[in-house]
Amino acid sequence: MRKTPMPTALQVVADAKSAAAAAEVVALQAVVAWATEYRVDNSVVDDTTFGAGGVILGGVGCPLVDEFAAYDLAAVLGMSSDGGCTYVAKTLELRYRLRRIWEQVVALKVPVWKAFVVCERTLTLSFEAARYVDQMLAPTLRSCSFAQIERTVAQAIDLYDPEEAERRRLKAADDRDFQVHLGQHNAPTDGTVEVTGTLSTEDALDLEAAVKLGAKALGDLGCEESLGARRSMAVGEMARTQLTLDLDTGDTGGRGVVIYAHIDADSPHVSIDNIGGGDVLIEQLKDWCQTAGTTVTIKPVIDLNQEISTQAYVPTAKLVEQVRLRDQSCVFPQCTRRAEHCDLDHRVPFDKNNPADGGKTSTSNLSLLCRKHHRAKTFSTWTYDSPQPGVYDWTSPSGHRFRVVRGKRHGRLPITTPLDDPPEP
């Protein structure tokens, strides 16, 4: 009897890749079926329809779906609510507005990621413009470059939506931005923060000249750091002294550091409030405090496990600060929206008419929820318990359960894990 030869490692890789591609398509088809199950009244978006109890995912011609059910799906997918809604939006865009590309995806002729690249660019287009993109790209999408996709989308806008073309041209100036990513500082803790920005050409030229001049001046003064390090130091000097701006706003500038004394005896780190609740080395903190123009505020220690309460609906300032320091961000599954963008939620609702019968305004009954997830908890069947401080067990409308726990050391992002197997159908 002839033995069947064992597949080579390369063949195993090829088979796994094919299986993964097929599984992606199965997931997309399941999301389309889910959207059908949870579509709301006014089930198709047109130019005069908005909301009607659902959330608009996808462009004109896609079904509306129940907003809170979308959060449920996102949690099951292991995504944030925003990430899950974006995934659903691209799936519906593909199925209802890019049907030729959808057929290519289902036939495994175009990978899902490539189709989603097109979806990201057609979501805001008119139905006619999206159909044009579908017709032009479907036959050759597998081999299309990103530049070809961009050109096709631009042609669709010019042909079918000249007003949108003009709007995009005018909006280009509004897209300018400058971000200091305080909540995403480098791990584990190296005392640096990423900065990104989009400037007008003239502003970019001026900034480059100022940074180049500042880096050269530091070098001339004997600084032995690398050129890149001196450029970053030059930006810091500009921020503290406004060397390139002849402005008098009454603000003397300087770095403001708020120190919360949450120090782990076994760790060389301290938590700083105004870099997003992150940890920095104590040596880095010393350097900051020794910099001219720095204002240091020392905050008293707050026991995060102490039970603080008030008879009123509105929490005291100390209670607010305690809950924000404990939770640091929204405690909904997969959400990381920072504390300053969150509400304080009474886990057991406060009864204003009969305070003794409702939930207390207290440490153990207050949690941080961003406005989106506060609404989900208040107006849907999402529920949660807190078995211990900083631990939250959520149950979704479909019966799935998730545990949200903050990392062991102060300042880490929350971690979401499924609590058990999916509920029986």
CB-based contact 385:393 (threshold 8 Å): yes
pLDDT at position 49 is 39
Nearest to 142 by CA among 168, 113, 176, 185: 113
Tokens matching residue 144: 């299309």
4 lies in some domain: no
Q: Strand ranges (DSSP E) for 5-62? A: 39-44, 54-56
For Cα atoms 58, 61, 62, give the angle at the middle one, nearest 5 degrees.
40
Question: Three-state DSSP class for 308?
Answer: coil
Q: Looking at the predicted structure, is the pLDDT value of residue 288 above 70?
A: no
Q: Are residues 105 and 170 in the same domain?
A: yes
Residue with tokens 């990621």: 113
Instruction: Determine if residue 108 is left, alpha or beta; phi over 0 gives left, psi from -120 to 50 gives alpha, anything else beta.
Output: left
Q: Are residues 24 and 128 in the same domain?
A: yes
Measured between alpha carbons, how far is residue 223 from residues 232, 234, 235, 276 in Å?
13, 11, 15, 30
**Which amino acid is residue 362, in one-letter code?**
S
State the Rg of the chain over Cα: 27
Q: Are residues 160 and 13 in the same domain?
A: yes
Please write the tens of the pLDDT for every residue from 121-139.
999 899 999 999 999 999 9
pLDDT at position 183 is 65
pLDDT at position 255 is 52
Q: Strand ranges (DSSP E) for 250-291? A: 256-263, 269-272, 278-281
Q: Are residues 125 and 227 in the same domain?
A: no
Q: Looking at the predicted structure, is the pLDDT value of residue 267 above 80?
A: no
Q: Is the model more confident about 282 or about 401?
A: 401
Cis upstream peptide for 188 (omega within 30°): yes
Q: Looking at the predicted structure, is the pLDDT value of residue 367 above 80?
A: yes
Please write the tens of the pLDDT for every residue from 193-236.
888 888 877 688 788 888 899 899 888 888 889 999 999 988 88
31 lies in some domain: yes
Question: Three-state DSSP class for 261?
Answer: strand
107 lies in some domain: yes
Q: Are residues 116 and 209 in the same domain?
A: no
CB-based contact 93:31 (threshold 8 Å): no
CB-based contact 101:94 (threshold 8 Å): yes
198 lies in some domain: yes
Q: Looking at the predicted structure, is the pLDDT value of residue 272 above 80?
A: no
Nearest to 286 by CA among 191, 185, 412: 191
146 lies in some domain: yes
In whole angstroms, what is the distance from residue 264 CA to residue 246 CA? 44
Please write the tens of the pLDDT for every residue from 8-46.
888 889 889 999 999 999 999 999 999 999 988 654 444
Q: Are residues 259 and 281 in the same domain?
A: yes
93 lies in some domain: yes
Q: Strand ranges (DSSP E) for 301-400? A: 309-310, 342-346, 361-362, 366-370, 383-388, 391-395
In whole angstroms, what is the distance from residue 46 CA to residue 60 CA? 5
Q: Are residues 245 and 280 in the same domain?
A: no
pTM, two decimals, is 0.69
Q: Are residues 168 and 185 in the same domain?
A: no
Last residue in a domain, options 249, 273, 292: 249
Q: Are residues 269 and 152 in the same domain?
A: no
Q: Is the model more confident about 410 or about 61?
A: 61
Cβ neighbors of 212 (< 8 A, separation 6 or more) are 231
Residue with tokens 């938590």: 271
First to last CA, the chain: 45
394 lies in some domain: yes
Last residue in a domain, options 266, 301, 336: 301
Nearest to 93 by CA among 45, 58, 128: 58
Last residue in a domain, options 231, 249, 267: 249
Q: Are residues 240 and 287 in the same domain?
A: no
Side by side, the strands of the sheet bearing 278-281 are: 278-281, 269-272, 256-263, 295-299
CA 214, 217, 221, 223 torsion: positive or negative? positive
Q: Are residues 167 and 191 in the same domain?
A: no
Q: Are residues 313 and 290 in the same domain?
A: no
The total domain count for the chain is 4
Q: Residues of the chain with pLDDT > 90: what percent? A: 37
Task: State which residues form the domain around 327.
Answer: 309-418
80 lies in some domain: yes
